[in-house]
Structure formats: structure tokens, C-alpha cells
A and B are shown apart, each in its own frame.
Chain A
Amino acid sequence: MQRTVLICDDAIFMRTVLGDILREAGFDVVGEAETGTEAVAKYRELQPDLVTMDIVMPDMGGIDAVREIIKEHPKARIVMCSAMGQQALVVEAIQAGARDFIVKPFQPARVLEAVQRVLG
């Protein structure tokens, strides 16, 4: 069965890039979110197998969104999307319950590795 993914990033460009990588690897991108609030709502609605979460988003940031999602769904599998130099934020996200992280600029191989690890 195809695994479902929710992609959260405020930049369409990044969503497209990630979406392409995941779709090419056989994932079903079931939803996209542009803000943390939207991510939480979409998670509730779609209950995807996997979420990719950008750290910096307008409205509600990625880390708060992780907290909200984990509060309701402790088993949620969330992979953070971070940039170099955001180490402290990534650590915060891990402590909030994110399962793994990938670092921009995205390399398809690394993205898929992280996703496979998380889906175990």
C-alpha cells in the first residue's frame, strides 16, 4: 500500500521539490500545508503516515506544530526540514517529538533515507 505524506512548508518551491522526491519514490502526497496551524488541522483530517515539517513558517512555526500534533497523536511520524545553522531549533523539535530531520538543500538520497528510517 502506498504510504501517505503531508508536506508542510511555506514555500511552494520547497513543497514542490520535496513532493517530487517523495512521489518519485512511490509515496502518495495527500496534502500540503503552508502554516503551522494548517499543518495541525490537515494532520487531524488526513492522519498521514508521515509529515515533513519546515521549521520556520508564518502563523504557527513548525516546532509548535509538532507539539500540537504530538499532543493529539503521540505516534505521529514527523521529519523536520531544517537549514544549516538551525541546530538548536532542530534539537528543540526532536525534544518536542520529531522523529528525524533533513537539511536543506535537500538531496533526494538523504531525504529518502530519513523517511525510510522513520517509517522503519
Chain B
Amino acid sequence: MDPGRYRDLYLSETQEYLAALNRGLAALEVDDRGDALDGAFRAAHTIKGMSATLGFDKVAQLAHELEDRLDAVRTGRETVDRALIDELFAMADVLETAVEAAVAGGAVGGAGRVGAKSAKAVRRGGAGRAGEKAGRRGEGAAADADGRRRNGADGKAEEPREPALVMRVVIRPDAPLGGARAVLVQRNAADVAPVLRMEPADPAADWSGELRLWFPVDADRAALERAARAAGEVVEVRFEGGGGGAPERGGARNGGRTADGASAAEGGPGAARSGLVASRHVRVALGALDDLSDGVGELAVLTARLREVAGTLEGAQGLEDLVGRFERQVSDLQHTVLGMRMVPVGEVFDRFPRLVREAARELGRQVDFEIRGREIELDRAILEQVAEPLLHLLRNAVDHGLEPPAERRQRGKPERGRLVLEASRERSSVVIRVQDDGRGISRARVAARARAAGLLPDEPGVELGDDDLLRLMSRPGFTTAERVTEISGRGVGLDVVVNAIRRLGGALEMKSEDGRGTTFTARLPLTLAIAQALRVQIAGEVYAIPLTHVAEAVELGSGMVGRVKGKEVLRLRGEVMPLVRLRGMLQTGAEGGESAAVVAQVGERRAALAVDRLVGRDQILVKRFDAPVGALPFFSGVTLLANGRPALVLDPTSVL
């Protein structure tokens, strides 16, 4: 047995709980009771149990102390104030360090203790749940789980006691927005018979894959089932009860899923923590997931080739139909795999409040930090790689963006600065913004600096746009100059941020207003594995352009191409934008004869990229090259086309 396996499970799950702990502590500042406290308490408690199982006694002890303190706050023995929160944060820090140290050096103890557990227990719920069992044995600390269950029992008292018909509807686990689908089921069913009760009560907020609806006992089952299935993505409809009152929770669990039944029977807080959700997940190594998505991507490419070959055959009856079904199966599979890679950005964002808080305290700033769009989902690999650049931007905002309280007062601003981190979905990308209401960037000083460094021609009076500003400040040479902090110093490591985001196939934009604040906007693809792309032909070669930065594609009609100040432009519905002929840019052929253009957009900057013709649209699997930045300026990777030939993937942001 490989002890490393349990260490990884332990580490990854502990990190989630540490994040929950920090999130809880941060929320404590604004809300000294309720969910925040419960969440922090549960996290500490769970870490304790897990650590004890692996024999990490020091970690368990630290978690226990933290749990004790939190319990004291919970029961009103200690009051929440700034000093206490600082202390709790410090304890969480020590705990985090201890976890890392234990994992780095604690292989022996871990293997021994876990080895004694059955492998089954570990497989079922990860080391975490196995740990829970050991950790809480004989301790009074099970209160949280019990308390939750008591709430559950209280809730049950309100259930209709009259005979009821219960319909259990299972929605395909990979169906996007399953919670909304559940609402659709409920609405359709309500047309057939009154819904007496629903579980979960708010599927949009609390979705675990299945819905139970209570109806009067004489409701028409067949009509209800039809209504439920009409909502789509429904894989199973079953009726329960029909005689007695609302069925017991435990009964339903055991009937439905063995794993849930098992953990409910053990009463593991894992089950109580997030209801059924926790026990429906298994942990998978990210590498395995990468292999899976690569494999499925290749499969999709092969399927497209199959379609091409099938098209050339005549008289092969049923082949067309078979290929169609095959394609659909592969596309569903691809969608499922893609969904598996997605995690809410909150998983990383929630680490930030305390870091911002610490930076603010060190630098003597007062900051209201707000996170929006926690639930937006992003490929885990991208999310992990974007964490560091974001932290960089946040620190910069606190350090160089937001003014000290006294200066803010002088400027007539509230003493507390505002810092917002926001994620949202736009087209086929995820947009993450870091926005502060600080002093903004001084264009004049950046310009002066750039002229001194020879990066800008010596023509006074040229107004620098936001894009120019960002480009100048993210020059590596610019960063090392002494201007760093004195010019409101946004250049600190900005090149690193820009490059990190570009490597992920994204782009960074910036807007700054003198005295009013700065906003950085990172636009990222949803996933690294698969991209939607346009196929275009340029001088006989086919290239792929990812849709992340494509606003639209147009056929070039007469009168659409013109010249402004000697440069070619595209006129599109009254808008004029620069036109770049890719034949010329890539030096692959003589210009002229282009029949179409792809409108690339980064922020508000748009440019038309002229190509010979548009070939089609495809899902592509991008293989990034490991070339040094700048070696292949216009390309971000390579992909395989349906005909099996490789194609270069153009990076439209490089043109803008």
C-alpha cells in the first residue's frame, strides 16, 4: 500500500477545510454568530479528526485548541473583537503550517494508522471521512453533527403528516444547471397536482442531483411522471410512500444510494456538513482527469475523421446513422468530462480575504474587500494557475492603489478603501476583475518614465491610453526601474501577471482613472483542455482561432475595407476598426484576395483579422507549446483537425 496516496487525499481535503476555516474567520468580522462561526468550528473539528487518524498528533492538538476557542465563542464564553479574530487567524496560520510540515515529514505515522483502516473506508469517502470516525469517537465534539440533525428533525415536524405521494426525480448528474432543471420539474409537476413540499426547498442554491416532491396521495402518477420527464435531463422518476406520512430521511437514503446510507449510519459529520452532496463525490487525481479529457478530445477528433471517411462511402447502410449516434455519445462524454474539471472560483477566492486583510494591516490601509461571483465555474487547472497573479493584483491594489486613510480623507473619499474581486461569465470565457477606488495611475509619470527608458518617442502632449499604459508597465525592463513605488507603482511584477494570464490563453486589460481608481480585467478561457475555435484558411493552410477573443466573423463585402490615415480599416455597421491581413502578418503569402475577416476583441479594443476564407467551427484540443515567451509570437499552441492534420492555433490577442 502506498502511504503517499493517503497523504495526498489528506492534504487536498485539509486545504479545503483550511479555506473554509479562513472564510469563516473572515466572515466573523462582520457577523459574529451563525453560519460563519459554525463553518469555522466544523472545519477545525474535521481537520482534527483527519489528522488524528493519520497520526499527526501535533496538528490534531492545534486543531483541537482552535476548536475549543471557537466553541467558547459559540457558547458566549468569549466575545468577538478584533484581537480575538487576529488571534484566531494566527492559530489558523500555525495550523496550516503544521499540516504542511506533517505531510512533508509524517509518512510513517500516516501509513501505520491508515493501514489499520480498511481500504474500503478510504475509497468510500477519502481519508477525511475515515478520519472523522476516529477523531470523534468518544468526544463531545460531535455536537455540530448532532445539532444539524436536530435541526433536521425540527424541520421534519413541519412536514405534512397526512398521507402523501412522494415523487423522486433524479436528474442526469452532468446536466448543466441541474438546480434550474429541478425547478422546471417542479413547475411542470405543479400543473398536474399541487406540490405540498419539495426537497431540497431551493434547488437552485442546494442541488445534489435529485429532487423529491410531495403531492396529495390521489395525484395521477402517470401524468406526474410525464410532466417531470418533459422537463428534460431526467434519468429516473420513482414514487415512494403513497400511504403513510412523509418517508424517513434515512429510509430514502438507504433506498437510493448505498454510500449515503453508509455514511448516514455512521453519522459522519461529512454527511451532516453538506447533506447528501459530500458523500456523492469521489476524489480523482487531477492528472487522471487531464488524461481523461485529452483522451476524450482525441476521440472527438477521430469521430470527426470517421464522419469524413463515412461521407465518401456509398451504399454502407446504417453507417451514417451510427456515426451520428457515435458523435452524440462522444459529445455528451466530452461535456461530462469538461464539467468534472470545473470548480467554483470561490475555492480559490476565499483564500484572499485574510491575505488582503493582512496586507492592509501591514501597510496601514483600511479596506473593505468584497468578493462577487464565487459560484462562477472555471477549469481547476486554470483556477489554480490564476490564483498567484490575482493575489499579485490584490496586493498591488492595497499597496499602491489605495491611499492611506489620511490621504483619502484629504481627497474627500471615505477612509476605508474599496476593493472588489469579481468573477463573471461573458461569452465563452470567464472574466475576473480586480477593482479598487484608490488613486489610479499617473499617466504623466508613466510617460515620463517610459521616455527616459527610451520606450516612448519624445513627443510631449501624446495622451497615453489605458492599453498603452498597461503595455508600458508590463515591460519587464520597466518593472526593475526605481519608479516602482513612487509612481503609484503598478508595474510591480505586472509582466509576470500578464504573462501568466496569456499562458492560460487569456488576456489582461486595465482601466485607470486618475484619483478614482484602477480596474484590472482578466479574461480567461473556460477550460484548458477543449476550446471552441474557428477554422480559417490563410494561404492554403488551415489555422484555428479560439473563440475566447472572437466577437464575430464576417464575409468581406465590397466597400467594407477602406483606409484611414494610410492604414487599412474594416467598416462594420458604422464601426471602424483596424484591419490586419494575416497573410502579411504571418508572412505566408501575398496580400489580397481575402474574402472574410474575424473580429477579435480584447476589452474594448477590436481589430479585424483578414483571412482567405472561413472554413468552419470546431471543438479543438489545444496542445500548448513549451516555447519561451516571444519565440512564436502569434501562436498559442497546436491542434489536430478533423482530417488528422495538425493546425497552428492563432492567438488573436497577440495582434491587438
Complex interface: chain B residues within 8 A of A12 (CB)? 552
Complex Cα–Cα for A66 and B263 (A): 44
Residues in A whose Cβ lies below 8 Å from that of B183:
91, 94-95
Distance between B227 CB and nearest chain A CB, rounded to angstroms: 11
Contacts of B550 in A (CB 8 A): 13
Q: Which residue of B lies closest to A113 (CB)?
A: B232
Number of A-B contacts (CB under 8 A): 75
> Contacts A90-B180, A91-B183, A109-B328 known; A84 to B342 CB distance under 8 Å?
yes
Distance to closest chain A CB from B74 (angstroms): 31
CA distance A109 to B553 in the complex (A): 23
Does B332 make an interface contact (CB < 8 A)? yes
C-alpha gap A110/B176 in the complex (Å): 11
Whole-angstrom distance between the alpha carbons of A88 and B231 in the complex? 17
A90, B230: Cα distance in complex, Å: 17
By CB atoms of chain A within 10 A, which of B180, B184, B204, B377 has the most?
B180
By beta carbon, the residue of chain B nearest A12 is: B552
Q: Is B204's CB under 8 angstroms from A91's CB?
A: yes
Contact with B along A90-105 (1 / 0, CB 8 A): 1100110000110111
Considering the complex, give the chain B residue whose CB is closest to the CB of A117. B232
CA distance A116 to B149 in the complex (A): 43
Question: What 1/0 mask marks residues of chain B from 307 to 323 whose CB sits below 8 Å from any chain A CB?
Answer: 00000000000000000
Contact of B187 among A87, A94, A114 (CB under 8 A): A94
Given A94-B184, A100-B232, A117-B232, answer yes or no on A86-B425 (Cβ-Cβ < 8 Å). Answer: yes
- B window 394-436: CB within 8 A of A: 424-425, 427-428
Please, how many angstroms separate the alpha-carbon atoms of A101 and B181 in the complex? 8
B551 contacts chain A at the CB level, 8 A cutoff: yes
Q: Report A-chain residues with C-beta under 8 Å of the C-beta of B424.
A: 85
A41 is an interface residue with CB less than 8 A from chain B: no
Enumerate chain A residues within 8 angstroms of B187, measured Cβ to Cβ. Answer: 94-95
Instruction: Give min CB distance, A10 to chain B, whole Å.
Output: 10
Q: Is B331 part of the binding interface, using a Cβ–Cβ cutoff of 8 Å?
A: yes
* Chain B 336-379 interface mask (CB, 8 Å, partner A; 1/0): 00000010000000000000000000000000000001011100
New A-B pairs, 6, CB < 8 Å, besides A84-B376, A107-B335? A13-B552, A85-B425, A91-B183, A100-B231, A104-B428, A114-B232
Which residues of chain B have a CB within 8 Å of any CB of chain A?
176-177, 179-180, 183-184, 187, 204, 230-232, 328, 331-332, 335, 342, 373, 375-377, 424-425, 427-428, 526, 532, 547, 550-553, 617
3 A-B pairs with the lowest CB-CB distances in the bound complex, closest first: A103-B176, A90-B180, A83-B425
